[in-house]
A and B are shown apart, each in its own frame.
Chain A
């Protein structure tokens, strides 16, 4: 079974631009979560999508948004990029996720975003 794939793997943007990152989950997985990883803040949860609906959101400004398509593929968008948005963006998929239980999450290789 193919793993989680993320594109692109590396991205360089300048301040003020916007960026869209893509994530394809493991076949059959319907939950997709996104995380930002920086040296200073570590791994932080951005949001989670299930069946095209955002069910959970972390403490990030509205410049960070996402969506999920009917085939469970997900995209996240960051508008008006700031220097502090430079990070490794990771997506993870799981079979299910309920308030009572969060299943094993399988992570993609990440997209390394550099904002100049």
Chain B
């Protein structure tokens, strides 16, 4: 399957704790992107990591990519109640007819309790 598989499906934590979400995939990718979605609204882009990169940071977000294991992880540090959302990994597959197509995982539902 080209789809990313995310783990866990749901995560419940307290404010201030760290949250880690994982994404595994089976195909070759050009890049992997992480998005956040609040309550069935539009997706907000978080981070894009290219296949030749191993780690990227953006504020409280840290993304790692291990192409040998075909996996990525998103770490949110010092979580806040406002981080409550669904988080998706999206694959930009290599080559072929990949124009403008991202293949999304099923997402991780993160709940941060105040």
Contacts and interface: CB of A to CB of B under 8 A. Distances in A.
* Highest count of chain A CB atoms <10 Å: which of B35, B41, B99, B105: B99
B31 A105 contact: no
B97 interface: yes
Contacts of B94: 100
A17 B43 CA distance: 28
Contacts, number: 85
B101 to A, nearest CB: 5
A30 to B, nearest CB: 10
Given A99-B96, A101-B92, A102-B30, A88 B102 contact: no
Contact of A99 (B35, B45, B98, B104): B98
Contacts of A90: 42-43
The secondary structure that dominates the A interface is strand
Interface of B: 30-31, 33, 35, 40-45, 48, 88, 90, 92, 94-107
13 contacts: A33-B101, A42-B107, A43-B88, A55-B97, A100-B95, A101-B30, A102-B98, A104-B33, A105-B90, A105-B100, A107-B42, A107-B43, A110-B42
